Chains A and B, each alone.
Chain A
Amino acid sequence: MPDKVQIKVTVNGVEHHNEVEPRLLLVHYLRETLGLTGTHVGCDTSQCGACTVHLDGQAVKSCTMFAVQADGCNLTTIEGLGSAGNLHPVQEGFWEMHGLQCGFCTPGMIMAAVDLLNKNPQPSEAEIRHALEGNLCRCTGYHNIVRAVQYAADKMAGKIGAAADD
């Protein structure tokens, strides 16, 4: 078995020191070593985007990196984005607009959408669809995902007030 390698990774503001196999994928490190199971694995060819997380502020597919490549990096996963009662506007948008059904693609989709809005705060519908090309959803037909991202953009621009909590 390959020798293990020491890594230091900050995930959602918490610093972790672990010995990992060099071949361990970042997504498996998050899920299995750290127990952060909100990041999902939906494929084995880097197509589906269910594993999308932020690495030093950029969206990456965590199935496409080794954990050792994240050594010294700052990661945000869905668990660190916002929590019940303190949701990120994109999380709120997905809830308000019914942007999810089975929920499996949702964490990756949300992380990809946050990355889009960080770079382009007022995207057009076409820009939203283009930005989410790397994230597959089998339930929603993307209709309400687009609306969720539009909601979040408006919310972040101050165009929408507090969400009703029904």
Chain B
Amino acid sequence: MADKLFGKAMKRVEDPRFITGTGNYTDDMTLPGMVHAAMVRSPYAHARIKKIDVSKARSYPGVLAVITGQEMKDAGINGIPTGWLHPGIKTPPHYAITFDKARHVGDIVAAVIAETRQIAEDAAELVEVDYEPLPAVALGSDALKPGAPAVHDDVPDNVCFTWSIGDKAAVDAAFASAHKTVKLNLRNNRLVPNAMEPRASLAQYLKASDEYTLWTTSQNPHIHRLLIAAFIMGIPEHKLRVIAPDVGGGFGSKIYQYPEEIIVLYAAKKLNRPVKWTARRSESFVTDSHGRDHETVAEMAVDQSGKITAVRVDTIANMGAYLTTFAPAVPTYLYGCLLAGTYTTPHIYCHVTAPFTHTTPVDAYRGAGRPEATYLLERLVDVMAHELGMDPVEFRRKNLIPPDAFPYQTPVALQYDSGNYEANLDKALELVNYKALRQQQEEWRKQGRYMGIGVITFIEACGLAPSALVGSLGAQAGQWESALVRVMPTGKVEVFTGTHSHGQGHETAFAQVVADELQIPVEDVVLVHGDTGRMPYGWGSYGSRSAPTGLSAIVLATRKIIDKAKKIAAHLLEASPDDIVHEDGKFMVKGVPDKAKTFFDIALMAHLAHNYPADLEPGLEATHFYDPKNFVFPFGTHIAVVEVDPDTGKVKLLRYLSVDDCGPVINPLIADGQVHGGVAQGLGQALLEEAVYDKEGQILSGNFLEYTLPRADDMVQIEHDHTVTPCPHNPLGIKGIGEAGTIASTAAVANAVMDALRPFGIVHLDMPYTPEKVWRAIQATKPLSQAAD
């Protein structure tokens, strides 16, 4: 038997298809008779639709149908619901095709179905929509002003919901008696997720069986099936199969139920032809749910000894024009509940107002709430440290939750199960050589060079659970996960998971663990994911839940397989199951290896059932539904080192070091890769990315010419290490790693840039730190002498 694969940097089994161009993404698929959809989208952020004339488009050669919102409504197609409800939340309808008003640029007003994509797009331009443009509002705080244009007629004040957590009176008292307080007004810039694969959907309807199949770019096909079946289209759930084939990145943006999926399903039945739609990137920019977009007043109070006594936060979280699937959870439970961070802050209060605006919906984007929480907390910590004249690292150290305090109950609902923050911080400081960096910074400042060092510690809560808890908080979904492990007569193993891999390497990492558990070659294991027709059920992949929740389910299912295999082996060896051991890939009576049965022997006999225990079912497969006892709480320390060129305002990343703790690492190649990519995305928010809207609700950065993704030369090679603090409540002690990089790096880079600008007396700037913004900020100050600070 080979060495254990857990912990091994195994090359990915997914890769051969991707590096040879033989992946199978939704837009790669062609079905016989397939036709194409193009959407007619509102160019206005807010407009009344007075009339739609489809006659020219309908008569264009090759056009098969022009579908309007009224037609779909008349056909009984309902709006798209949200999946998370707060008390008092307003949930105005979100129709796949709007028919009364357009509420954001990109809102669909008609769909053209034609023989080719080109014809569909040509004809979409022939649909004549008589719009009456109306005043629009794009910024959350503007939407809350008296007299602001209402996004939905039945929500005249635009307030979707308000939410709060924590003991406000205790927090106010702590501020009243504080030694020092700091206050920051923060704008957490709106981001566009921009997975490299644009969204695409292909629907097929089979008249003979009255069955639909939807291939779509999804992180969670079962959620789509449930929403479409139970709420939107009334298709019986067993008559709809949703398949997410190879998916080119998600980062949250492919969680949600989107209008186009409904439109292609409707059109496929209407025309009895398969219908495909693929987004252009400029459509992605206005229709994929955006991320972040907070306006926040954040305050921190400390006592004489430098201990944080309270944090007070008031946030306006822009929801956009409609609520997408998890939007209400993001600026609330995934945000306010994270405001303790890694610190012992005894009193925290967070209030959130979530307005509708005439913009693209905002929902979870990699990290989802947790980057926003980490950013504001770590900015406050740095500003407070400087206010106190303390090194920001020492101020953090003074406030870290000590290792003997776990399980640690925060004042904002979460109970951290495990952690060892100071050891993690120390490891990072040692690896980066923090003291030497500070000395170098001093020397550079004397030379007129502006280096900045950003050190942050962070916590994330991922793998939301248990289901009863998230249900009590408003989730309209379970958060358990299912696994089916099926052993074939030849001993080959199919593993079915309800999570979905769209870059995270589950086909490799999960197979490594299954091979270890069953003690079989990893080549004998295949992971099947992303198809409601094949696995028992699943809630998909987001919130770094796949390993802690999905893989835990798989492990527990493999253990059922082993238990049953032992019974079969005991029968064959005429022994008691209690005497059977599973070692070196074989089942044997302890101490009698020469009569051992192989996994193949057992698998074959389970299927033949010729020489078989009388009271045992034939076959060898096991299903497990796993509902975790708690979230998991990965943490870490990230350190960014930047240099700001005062003449151009350009920020250059010099070094980036992270020490993450995601528990035991299954495959370091994959785990480290998740951190690298996450760090780049977080850096993108800090330095480059922003969805900019004008006052009329037009997006001004709606394509890659204007919206800057990190490119290869914006990044450096990332220095990366781990500490290992296992999760105490799941079978492998594992925690998530998919979002850590993004949660941490925005704050680390932001603190580094602000540290670099400190000699200019600049305390805070809002992201992104573009050269122009930094240059203007420097020009607006009177530089201190170079030797100052």
User: Known contacts A36-B21, A102-B249, A104-B249: does B711 contact A41 (CB below 8 Å)?
Assistant: no
Which A139-154 residues have a C-beta within 8 angstroms of B?
Answer: 139-146
**Is A145 in contact with B196, judged by CB distance below 8 angstroms?**
no
Q: B-facing mask of A33-75, CB < 8 A → 1, else 0?
A: 0011111111111011010000000000000000000000000
C-alpha spacing A136/B703, complex, angstroms: 13
| Nearest-neighbor residue (CB-CB) of A50 within chain B | B196
Q: With an 8 A cutoff between CB atoms, is B27 at the interface?
A: yes
Contact A138:B676 (CB < 8 A) given known A47-B704, A103-B14: no
Stretch at the interface among B66-74, B497-505, B756-764: B497-505
Q: Please judge, given known A-B contacts A43-B703, A45-B704, A104-B196, whether A145 and B18 are in contact too, CB under 8 Å.
A: no
- B196 and A136 contact, CB distance less than 8 A: yes
Give CA–CA (A102, B14) in the complex, Å: 9
Determine if A98 is an interface residue (Cβ-Cβ < 8 Å): yes
Asked, given contacts A43-B281, A138-B196, whether A95 binds B717 with beta carbons under 8 Å apart, the answer is no
Give A43's nearest chain B residue, CB to CB: B281
B194, B251, B278, B676: which contacts A144 (Cβ < 8 A)?
A: B676
Say whether A106 contacts B18, CB under 8 Å: yes
Proximity bits, A114-145, B CB within 8 Å = 1, else 0? 00000000000110111011011111111111
Q: Which residues of the partner chain A approach B503 to less than 8 Å between Cβ atoms?
A: 101-103, 139
Indicate if the CB atoms of B20 and A105 lie closer than 8 Å: no
Flag if A138 contacts B21 (CB, 8 Å).
no
* Inter-subunit contact B715/A141 (CB<8 Å): yes
CB contacts (< 8 Å) of B247 on chain A: these are 102
Which of B94-102, B261-269, B338-346, B677-685 makes up part of the contact surface? B677-685
Q: Is the CB of A48 within 8 A of B196?
A: yes
Question: B61 contacts A43, CB within 8 Å?
Answer: no
Q: Is the beta-carbon distance between A79 and B712 smaller than 8 angstroms? A: no
A-B contact count (CB 8 A): 188
Instruction: Give the contacting residue for B16; candidates A23, A32, A95, A96; CB below 8 A.
Output: A95
Interchain CA distance A16-B655 in the complex, whole Å: 50
Given the known interface contacts A98-B11, A141-B715, A166-B10, the answer about A48 and B16 at a Cβ–Cβ threshold of 8 Å is no
Residue contact A94 to B704, C-beta cutoff 8 Å: no
CB closest residue in chain B, given A103 = B18
Contact B12 A141 (CB under 8 A): no
Contact of B196 among A24, A81, A102, A125 (CB under 8 A): A102
Chain A residues with CB under 8 Å of B488's CB are: none
Contact status B21-A96, CB under 8 Å: no
Q: Are A96 and B11 in contact (CB under 8 A)?
A: yes
Q: Is the CB of A145 within 8 A of B712?
A: yes
Q: Does B274 contact A (CB under 8 A)?
A: no
Within the complex, the shortest CB–CB distance from B198 to chain A, in Å, comes to 7
Interface size on A, residues (CB 8 A): 63
Q: How far is the CB of A143 from chain B (nearest CB, A)?
A: 4
Which of B10, B17, B249, B717 has a CB less than 8 Å from the CB of A139? B249
Bound Cα distance A125, B303 (Å): 48
B670 adjacent to chain A (CB < 8 Å)? yes
A45 / chain B contacts, CB cutoff of 8 Å? 281-282, 703-705
Contact of A100 with B by CB under 8 A: yes
Q: In this complex, what residue of A is CB-closest to B10? A: A166
CA distance A130 to B715 in the complex (A): 11
A40 to chain B minimum Cβ distance, whole angstroms, is 7
Find chain A residues with CB under 8 A from B18 CB. Answer: 100, 103, 106-107
A140 contacts B21, C-beta separation under 8 Å:
no
Determine whether the beta carbon of A102 is less than 8 Å from that of B502: yes
A157 close to chain B: CB less than 8 A: no
Q: Is A14 an interface residue (CB 8 A)?
A: no
Among residues of B, the one whose C-beta sits closest to the C-beta of A2 is B118
Does the CB pair A129–B19 fall under 8 Å? no
B355 to chain A, nearest CB (A): 29
The number of chain B residues with a CB under 8 A from chain A is 62
B466 in the interface (beta carbon within 8 A): no
**Candidates A23, A48, A78, A146; contact of B717 at CB < 8 Å:** A146
B residues in contact with A105, CB < 8 Å: 196, 248
* A84:B20 contact, CB within 8 angstroms: yes
Measured between alpha carbons, how far is A130 from B718 in the docked complex, in Å? 17
Bound together, the chains give a CA A24 to CA B194 distance in angstroms of 25
Q: How far is the CB of B655 from chain A (nearest CB, A)?
A: 13
| B647 CB to nearest A CB, Å | 21
Question: A47–B678 Cα gap in the complex (Å)?
Answer: 21
CB of B246 within 8 Å of the partner chain: yes
In-complex Cβ contact of B715 among A28, A42, A143 (8 A): A143
Q: Which of A36, A102, A106, A142 contacts B712 (CB 8 A)?
A: A142
Q: Residues of B contacting A1 with CB < 8 Å?
A: 61, 119
B714 to chain A, nearest CB (A): 8
Contacts of B504 in A (CB 8 A): 101
User: From residue 668 to 720 of chain B, which have CB atoms closer than 8 A to chain A?
Assistant: 669-670, 672-674, 676-681, 703-705, 709-713, 715, 717-718
B22 within 8 A of A: yes
Contact A143 B670 (CB under 8 A): no
Give chain B residues whose Cβ lies under 8 Å from the Cβ of A126. 713
Report the bound CA distance from A126 to B597 in whole Å: 56
* Cβ distance B711 to chain A, nearest Cβ, rounded Å: 5
**Contact present for B281 and A103 (CB under 8 Å):** no
Determine whether the beta carbon of A48 is less than 8 Å from that of B281: yes
Q: Which residues of A contact B12 (CB under 8 A)?
A: 95, 98
- Do A87 and B19 have beta carbons less than 8 Å apart? yes
Q: Write out the residue numbers on chain B whose beta carbons fall within 8 Å of the beta carbon of A139.
A: 196, 249, 503, 673, 677
Which of A83, A142, A146 has a CB less than 8 Å from the CB of B20?
A: A83
How far apart are the CA atoms of A78 and B278 in the complex, in Å? Answer: 22
Residue from the list B20, B505, B703 in contact with A79, Cβ < 8 A = B20
Residue numbers in A under 8 Å from B28 (CB-CB): 31, 37
User: Which residues in B have their C-beta under 8 angstroms from that of A107?
Assistant: 18-19, 21
Q: Output the least CB separation between B289 and chain A (Å).
A: 16
Contacts of A96 in B (CB 8 A): 11
Q: Is the CB of A98 within 8 A of B670?
A: yes
Could you tell me if A95 and B196 are in contact, using CB atoms closer than 8 angstroms?
no
Chain B residues with Cβ below 8 Å from A136 are: 196, 704, 709, 711
B197 interfacial by beta-carbon distance below 8 Å:
yes
B595 interface hit (Cβ, 8 Å): no
In the bound assembly, the distance between CA atoms of A144 and B717 in angstroms comes to 9
How far, in angstroms, from A138 to B193 measured CA to CA in the complex?
9
A136 to B195, CA, bound (A): 10
Assess whether B15 is interfacial by the CB under 8 Å rule: yes
Task: Tell whether A103 pairs with B715 under 8 Å between CB atoms, given A43-B704, A98-B11.
Answer: no
Decide yes or no: A106 and B10 within 8 Å by CB, A45-B703, A50-B196, A101-B505 being known contacts. Answer: no
Give B267-287 as 1s and 0s: 1 = Cβ < 8 Å from A's Cβ atoms: 000000000001011100000
Contacts of A100 in B (CB 8 A): 15, 18-19
Binding site for A on B (CB under 8 A): 10-12, 14-23, 25, 27-28, 30, 61, 117-119, 194-198, 246-249, 251, 278, 280-282, 502-505, 669-670, 672-674, 676-681, 703-705, 709-713, 715, 717-718, 741
- Extra inter-chain contacts (6) besides given A102-B248, A103-B23, CB under 8 Å: A23-B118, A41-B278, A45-B704, A101-B504, A141-B710, A144-B673
Give 29 pairs: A residue, B residue, CB < 8 Å, sorted on A: A38-B21, A44-B281, A47-B705, A48-B704, A77-B21, A87-B19, A87-B20, A95-B11, A95-B19, A98-B11, A98-B673, A100-B15, A100-B18, A102-B246, A102-B247, A103-B248, A104-B196, A104-B248, A104-B249, A129-B715, A136-B709, A137-B196, A139-B249, A139-B677, A140-B676, A141-B678, A142-B711, A143-B715, A143-B717
Those 9 A-B pairs whose CB atoms lie nearest each other, nearest first: A38-B21, A104-B248, A103-B18, A102-B503, A141-B680, A78-B21, A47-B704, A101-B503, A141-B676
